[in-house]
């Protein structure tokens, strides 16, 4: 029995030590160009919107000459990463702004300085209501007239331009998936051994408008009754493009919710541990979408997942082994094979009365 207890204590010690080991991660990025990642406009048919493109040269040693062009883009997968369509002979998409968006062909930005250039968007009369979008690409070499194919967004500096033409639109979104989400593996988890920090949901856009869902989401531990409210379901106001099936990620808890030493809150949307207890969880999502002037539409979905950390599994297994051990001892004693009197096992005997 003493050896059995020693094994239990040793196992628990290993669990505690493993839980205390920190995980470190680093990241770094560098660029000599600073631009606006996205421009959004609401433009009536037949009207023109004029704006400025602010470009900053972060290189303090040399001037930066950039060539600008307007191209269409679509999506690569469910992650939301746009795919630039660099083929100069590509047919315009049904949502293209290439014919309506005007930018200068080139610009030179002095070292360490910023420059503003004019841009304009003119939507023709009679154009239908909905979303239209293209991309402004900045490159350090003149456009290649023979360039073909699609490349990822990270291939060059890019500003995405979105225009909404008001009116009666076709807004149609389907709610496909919901649950705990692994941001690294890009997959849903129905059984998680590491604490889930992200809730994912997948929407299908079958309308003619790029949609940014909003709403609320709640987690509930069905074993212990604890509830957790997801702070923001779409913190970056990400869009589901026309025809796209898009997976959105929402932190169960963000770093901005943790107070710092001054009593303020930290900025940012980095996911952090929410201190979830082990058990079976239900996720309830109530989402909304819709453009101004149109009816707001609702979507509801409920899902479940298990959170069973390794330390919890080990403790449960050890508890079951202890229970099984004592049950076995009780069964053996009740069956009368041997029993203890005064701390020593004695064999049961029967006496016969002499006649």
The domains located in the chain, with CATH, are: 33-165 (2.60.40.10), 170-309 (2.60.40)
In this prediction, residue 349 carries a pLDDT of: 52
Provide the token pair at 169.
Answer: 């639109």
In this prediction, residue 24 carries a pLDDT of: 34
C-alpha–C-alpha distance, residues 127 and 165, integer Å = 8
C-alpha–C-alpha distance, residues 205 and 248, integer Å = 13
Which of 175, 187, 189 minimizes the C-alpha distance to 276?
189
Provide the token pair at 67.
Answer: 């060539």
Whether 161 and 123 have beta carbons less than 8 Å apart is answered as no
Provide the token pair at 172.
Answer: 């149609």
C-alpha–C-alpha distance, residues 341 and 322, integer Å = 24
Task: Please give the angle made by the CA atoms of 176, 181 and 182, to the nearest 5 degrees.
Answer: 135
In this prediction, residue 30 carries a pLDDT of: 32
Whether 35 and 54 have beta carbons less than 8 Å apart is answered as yes
Read off the pLDDT of residues 134-146 as tens digits, 9 standing for 90 and up.
999 998 887 665 4
Q: Which residues contact 63 (CB under 8 A, 6 or more apart)?
A: 57, 108, 109, 110, 111
In this prediction, residue 33 carries a pLDDT of: 84
In this prediction, residue 16 carries a pLDDT of: 33
In this prediction, residue 208 carries a pLDDT of: 93
In this prediction, residue 233 carries a pLDDT of: 95
Whether 12 and 322 have beta carbons less than 8 Å apart is answered as no
Q: Which residues contact 105 (CB under 8 A, 6 or more apart)?
A: 67, 68, 69
Cα dist from 70 to 73, 109, 260, whole Å: 10, 19, 44
Provide the token pair at 354.
Answer: 């002499």
- For the chain, residues with pLDDT lower than 70 are 1-31, 143-156, 256-269, 292-294, 337-355
Read off the pLDDT of residues 102-129 as tens digits, 9 standing for 90 and up.
999 999 999 999 999 999 999 999 999 9
C-alpha–C-alpha distance, residues 94 and 239, integer Å = 17
In this prediction, residue 78 carries a pLDDT of: 86
């Amino acid at each position: 029995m003493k050896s059995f207890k020693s094994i239990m204590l040793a196992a628990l010690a290993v669990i505690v030590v493993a839980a205390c080991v920190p995980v470190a991660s680093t990241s770094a990025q560098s660029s000599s160009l600073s631009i606006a990642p996205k421009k959004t406009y609401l433009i009536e048919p037949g009207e023109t919107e004029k704006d400025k493109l602010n470009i900053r040269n972060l290189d303090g040693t040399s001037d930066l000459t950039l060539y600008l062009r307007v191209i269409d883009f679509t999506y690569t997968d469910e992650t939301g990463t746009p795919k630039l369509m660099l083929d100069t002979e590509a047919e315009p998409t049904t949502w293209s702004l290439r014919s309506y968006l005007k930018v200068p062909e080139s610009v030179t930005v002095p070292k360490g300085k910023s420059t503003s250039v004019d841009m304009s968007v003119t939507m023709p009369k009679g154009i239908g209501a909905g979303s239209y979008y293209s991309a402004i690409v900045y490159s350090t070499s003149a456009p290649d007239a023979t360039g073909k194919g699609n490349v990822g967004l990270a291939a060059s500096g890019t500003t995405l331009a979105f225009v909404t033409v008001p009116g009666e639109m076709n807004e149609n979104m389907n709610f496909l998936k919901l649950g705990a989400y692994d941001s690294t593996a890009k997959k849903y988890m129905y059984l998680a051994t590491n604490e889930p920090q992200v809730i994912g949901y997948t929407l299908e856009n079958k309308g003619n408008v790029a949609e940014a869902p909003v709403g609320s989401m709640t987690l509930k531990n069905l074993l212990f009754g604890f509830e957790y409210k997801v702070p923001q379901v779409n913190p970056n106001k990400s869009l589901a493009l026309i025809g796209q099936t898009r997976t959105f990620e929402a932190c169960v808890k963000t770093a901005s919710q943790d107070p710092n030493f001054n009593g303020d809150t930290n900025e940012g949307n980095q996911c952090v541990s929410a201190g979830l207890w082990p058990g079976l969880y239900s996720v309830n999502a109530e989402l909304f979408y819709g453009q101004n002037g149109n009816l707001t539409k609702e979507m509801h979905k409920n899902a479940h997942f298990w959170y069973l950390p390794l330390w919890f599994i080990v403790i449960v297994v050890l508890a079951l082994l202890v229970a099984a051990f004592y049950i076995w001892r009780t069964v053996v004693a009740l069956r009368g094979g041997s029993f203890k009197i005064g701390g020593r096992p004695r064999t049961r005997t029967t006496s016969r009365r002499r006649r």
